[in-house]
Structure formats: structure tokens, C-alpha cells
Amino acid sequence: AVIKPLHRTRFHFQPRRHWINDPNGPMYFNGIYHLFYQYNPKGAIWGNIVWAHSVSRDLVNWKALKHAIYPSKPFDINGCWSGSATVLPGNKPVILYTGVDPQNRQVQNYAIPANLSDPYLTDWIKPDDNPIVDPDSGVNASAFRDPTTAWLSNSGHWKTIIGSKRRKRGVAYLYRSKDFVKWTKAKHPLHSAPNTGMWECPDFFPVPLSGKQGLDVSVTGNWVKHVLKVSLDVTRYEYYTVGKYYHERDRYVPDNTSVDGWSGLRYDYGNFYASKTFYDPAKKRRVLWGWANESDSAVDDISKGWAGIQAIPRTVWLDPNRKQLLQWPVEELNGLRGKQVKMSHQKLYKEQHVEVKGITAAQADVEVTFSFSSLDKAEPFDPSWVDAQAVCGKLGSKVQGGVGPFGLLTLASENLQEFTPVFFRIFKAHHNHVVLLCSDATSSSLKKDGLYKPSFAGFVDIDLSSKKLPLRTLIDHSVVESFGGGGKTCITSRVYPTKAVFGDAHLYVFNNGSEAITVDYLSAWSMRSATIN
Ligand code: DQQ
């Protein structure tokens, strides 16, 4: 008999087997989306890293091609690590990536398509003048990696940044080139920040001050802001700032509403790392890819034979408040929506949960708007609560509140022995209200050993004057990926239910606060499986 793999995702990107990590070199070229990714062709743990390669016409269904870049030359013999694609004038893609050389130094290389008229760009050449950037004596050769998509300045110079650290200071070194082959390090880094450690996978791009449109990375002007994102290897989270790029000086300065480091903004407050955006000229949008690692053990991964997925690609743009980004699953995902069920004007009193019936709750897309008539009952907010995850750990979905907790119980078993709640809780602070979004894996699985079950959470900087809070959650067997407040705060959890699987998984709306909540409107869809690799 064929055993259906319990936790394998059906519409998230993953290879057929083995380990994957960072998305690499995403790009659009002649009608086709390319996604490369860090991949171990030999097993379900990290190692033997190559650039695997898939192509798509819709960012949803993918076809696997042969590995694009793999160790074969001295400049990458010990590893082909992360990097980015740039499409040069004349529609010529180039990849910049980090190679690990025989001395285990991290060097930067380039690769070009062997045949530009091959629509899939299947074969890649690594020219003999590699590496194009060596770590100089001032940089730590084991912390010097992950070149970004390059941008072109008015002076005709290409620029890229490379992640690094100087002692505990995270650094984005800037390099310039006239011809994309000979690169010179700028005297000053583009940006750096104390006590953040190694900056992996930097990403740097412009966003217009208003509107949802994305921009090519080379666009500048007083009508754009720039975003710098870095991934911190020690703590395994990412943060970004919104700021200004002074292109004559090649310096980036975060706005005073944006901070570097631990308390900074995150694309995702859950399991999401080594992310990277690209500009899609076909739909004039900027699209974000990020890796969602497993939260089970290496032993589990080896026995299931795979580890790692990519989160659903998201369109990103600047919030009208100009302080943060907004994110939403790419519109193409809606093409997988099948059977739809609806709920409206559903009151939820304290301790009540109501089932959303009639869809495949283990593989679903849910959009809901909750409303409340008053904030009078909101619990007091303790100003020392700066760590959202700690607050959610203390005030879980079972801890009764005032306004909230309310939200969804996803991947729930019939008697709620297992469930992953995604919920809001509203607090009253001195001058304002504070909204918390939690995606809590604590009760997600009855499995005792080897699971990481954090109570991920983030604050939602949202205006409550309409007395409404929207939430969208994508559920895909071992993934619960949520977009709170219209994409203001996103959280991805990886969970491994033992009972709430396939047809035994349920979905509920719930409230556990003394203030009654109304489900104004809910739409949930069974999701079809995508064709992936
Ligand atoms: N993964 C790659 C590195 C990168 C790290 C190696 C981030 O290039 O810094 O697989 O997850």
C-alpha cells in the first residue's frame, strides 16, 4: 500500500526529497520565473550544497531542472552557497554566488547561462576568471557571503553588497564594478550595526512611497524609500529597516521609525529565514521568497526523507504609514482555490468555538474579518512586554482575556487534543491599544519528542478605529502561514499533528475573551495541490 506522507506540503515549494534551505537567484526571464535554492542532493540534512533549479509560469506550479551550479572548480569546490541573479541590459542574466574554496575561504563568483535562447536557462557556465571577489585582509574569510542582486547607478557602476561581520558588528560591504567582472570594495560599507553578528543573505531594494507597485532595484529618486534586510545566523531571525539610500555616498541610513537589531521589523515572526526578493517586470511587483525550515528533529527528517520548504511567495510593498512593509501571497495562489464555504455575522461569546465545515481543513486558505463593539474590556498592557513571543507564551489561547484571544484554531483534532491557534489579543496601553498576533505551536502535536513548538508572535501596528481585524491563514499539512492586519504582521509555523491530519483535521473560529466577537465575514477554500517538481 502507498502510505501518504502525513506532513508533506501540497502547495508550498519543495523538491521531491532531501534537504533544502535558502532561496537563491529568483528572477523573471522571458515569461518564466526561476527559483534556485540551496539543496543537498544526498540527504535530508544540510551538506553537499548545490544550486538546484526549478522554473514556473505562475509561481505556483514548478518544474525541476538539473542542478544549475555545483562544486566543480577550485573557487567553489567546498560549496556553492547563496547568491542572487541580476538581469543585465540586453536581457542577459548573471548569477553572483558565494563559493567555498580549498582553504575554506568564502569567495564571490559569477555564472552565466550557456545558451540564452534556451527558454529554461538550463545550463550555466562558471567562467575561468572566477573568483571575482576575494576576501581582503580586512575581512573575515569565513564570514563573507551572499551577494545581492546588483543595481546600476547613474555613474554607470554596478553595485552589490556582501554580508559579513567585524567582531560582533554586522556589516554589508559594498562593491562596485564597471563591467560586472572586476569589482572594487568601497571604502565604507553600505551599512553596519553593532551587536547583530554575521549578516547573512542581505537584500536591498527600493519601494515607492505610495502604491503597491514594485520597482527594479536600480530605481532611485525622492519618491522612493529603500529597504535593507539581513538574516542573523546566531539567533536565526531576520530583520529589516526602511530608510534612505544616499547613492552618491553609497550609504544607507534607516529612518528614525526603523531600528536595527533584535527589536527591528520582521517579514515574518515565525519560521522564515534567508529570504530574498526579486522584481517581477511582468506584473510590476516585488516578490519575496523565504525558507521555512522544519521544526522536527534531524532524525525525523531523515526518516521522512525531506526537510525544508519555501514559504508562499509574497508581494511586498510599503505600508501607507511608510514605517513598514505589507505582504500578501501572490495572486496566482488563488488559482488553487477549490470548494468555498462562507460564514458571516457569527457571534462568538467567551469560550465559544464554531467549526468551519465543508472544506479540507488540512489544506486550505482562510480569509476572515473579526469585529468587536468596544475595547473597554481590553486587558492592561505592561510596558515591559517588548518580546511578543514571550507574551504569547504566557497568555496563550486558553488564557481568558478581555478583547481576545480570538481567531482560528487550525489543524485541530476533533476533541482539540491537537490544534494550532492563530489569534489576536488586544491590550490597553497608556495612550493607545496594542494588538498581538500569535501563532502558537505549543499544542500542535501530541508527539512528545524532538519537536520545536514555539509560541511565535508579533505586534500589529494597526488602526483599530474601524473595530475590525482581518486575518488570512494558509494551511498546508505541516504549515500554518498567517497574514494579520492585511499583511502587516506575518507568522509562519511548522507543526506536525498526529491526529489532525487529512480528513481528521478541523478548522474553528474561537473567542476566549469576555468581550463578544463577531465573525463579520469568513471565506475558506479547500486548496488543490500544486504540481511541484
Ligand atoms: N545558507 C547558505 C549561506 C547563507 C546561509 C549556505 C543562510 O550562503 O549565509 O547554505 O541560511
What are the grid coordinates assigned to 240, written together? 529589516
- Identify the bridge partners of residue 224 per DSSP, sorted by sequence position: 208
Ligand 1 neighbourhood includes 420 CB (under 6 angstroms): no
Ligand 1 neighbourhood includes 274 CB (under 6 angstroms): yes
Ligand 1, atom nearest to 200 Cα: 9
- For 11, residues 6+ apart whose C-beta sits below 8 A from its C-beta are 60, 312, 333, 336, 363, 474, 476, 527, 528, 529, 530, 532
- For 475, residues 6+ apart whose C-beta sits below 8 A from its C-beta are 361, 362, 363, 364, 365, 366, 410, 411, 481, 507
Ligand 1, atom nearest to 81 Cα: 8
State in Å: Cα 329 to ligand 1 middle: 24
Q: Whose CA is nearest to atom 5 of ligand 1?
A: 200
Residue-by-residue pLDDT tens, the chain, 533 positions: 566 889 999 999 999 999 999 999 999 999 999 999 999 999 999 999 999 999 999 999 999 999 999 999 999 999 999 999 999 999 999 999 999 999 999 999 999 999 999 999 999 999 999 999 999 999 999 999 999 999 999 999 999 999 999 999 999 999 999 999 999 999 999 999 999 999 999 999 999 999 999 999 999 999 999 999 999 998 899 999 999 999 999 999 999 999 999 999 999 999 999 999 999 999 999 999 999 999 999 999 999 999 999 999 999 999 999 999 999 999 999 999 999 999 999 999 999 999 999 999 999 999 999 999 999 999 999 999 999 999 999 999 999 999 999 999 999 999 999 999 999 999 999 999 999 999 999 999 999 999 999 999 999 999 999 999 999 999 999 999 999 999 999 999 999 999 999 999 999 999 999 999 999 999 999 999 999 99
By the 8 A CB rule, do 499 and 413 touch? yes
Q: Which of 200, 230, 310 should be mutated for ligand 1, with most atoms under 8 A from CB?
A: 200
Q: Which of 201, 234, 291 should be mutated for ligand 1, with most atoms under 8 A from CB?
A: 201
- Provide the 3-class DSSP secondary structure of residue 189: coil
State in Å: Cα 230 to ligand 1 middle: 12
Closest CA to 473 of 394, 362, 347: 362
By the 8 A CB rule, do 423 and 408 touch? yes
Q: What is the pTM of this model?
A: 0.98
Q: Whose CA is nearest to atom 7 of ligand 1?
A: 274
Question: From edge to edge, which strands make up the β-sheet containing 251-254?
Answer: 199-208, 224-232, 237-246, 251-254
Helices (H), ranges, 334-461:
388-394
Per-residue CA distances from 482 to 14, 283, 347 (Å): 19, 24, 22
What are the grid coordinates assigned to 408, written together? 482560528
Closest CA to 325 of 247, 221, 226: 226
Q: How far apart are CA 138 and CA 370, in angstroms?
A: 54
Q: Whose CA is nearest to atom 11 of ligand 1?
A: 274
Count of alpha carbons within 13 angstroms of residue 268, beta-carbon side: 32
Instruction: Find cell 481567531 and name the residue.
Output: 407
- For 117, residues 6+ apart whose C-beta sits below 8 A from its C-beta are none
Bond from prior residue into 26 cis (ω within 30 degrees of 0): no
How does strand 517-527 pair with strand 420-428? unpaired
Ligand 1 neighbourhood includes 229 CB (under 6 angstroms): no
| Domain coordinates in residue numbering, the chain | 23-331, 337-527
Query: Which top CATH class is 23-331?
Result: mainly beta
Q: How far apart are CA 418 and CA 447, in angstroms?
A: 10
Active site residues: 22
Q: Specify the CATH architecture of the domain 337-527.
A: Sandwich (2.60)
Ligand 1 neighbourhood includes 293 CB (under 6 angstroms): no
Q: Which of 20, 48, 82, 237 should be mutated for ligand 1, with most atoms under 8 A from CB?
A: 82
Q: What confidence score (pLDDT) does residue 4 get?
A: 80
> What are the pLDDT digits (tens) for 117-127?
999 999 999 99
Q: How far apart are CA 286 and CA 215, in angstroms?
A: 7
- Identify the bridge partners of residue 164 per DSSP, sorted by sequence position: 144, 171
Q: How far apart are CA 391 and CA 165, in angstroms?
A: 31
Ligand 1 neighbourhood includes 49 CB (under 6 angstroms): yes
- Identify the bridge partners of residue 483 per DSSP, sorted by sequence position: 472, 490
Bond from prior residue into 71 cis (ω within 30 degrees of 0): no
Ligand 1 neighbourhood includes 145 CB (under 6 angstroms): yes
- Evaluate the CA torsion angle 263, 267, 272, 277 in order and state its sign: negative
Q: Which of 19, 38, 105, 107 should be mutated for ligand 1, with most atoms under 8 A from CB?
A: 38
Taking the CA atoms of the chain, what radius of gyration do you get in angstroms?
Answer: 23
State in Å: Cα 70 to ligand 1 middle: 15
Q: How far apart are CA 436 and CA 461, in angstroms?
A: 9
Q: How far apart are CA 162 and CA 383, in angstroms?
A: 37
Q: What angle do CA 481, 487, 489 make, to 5 degrees?
A: 70
Respond yes or no on whether ipTM tops 0.95. yes
Q: What confidence score (pLDDT) does residue 2 get?
A: 61
Ligand 1 neighbourhood includes 21 CB (under 6 angstroms): yes
What single-letter amino acid sits at 353?
H
**Quick one: DSSP state of residue 172?**
E
Q: What confidence score (pLDDT) does residue 1 get?
A: 56
Instruction: Find cell 554589508 and name the residue.
Output: 172
Q: How far apart are CA 431 and CA 429, in angstroms?
A: 6
- Provide the 3-class DSSP secondary structure of residue 80: strand
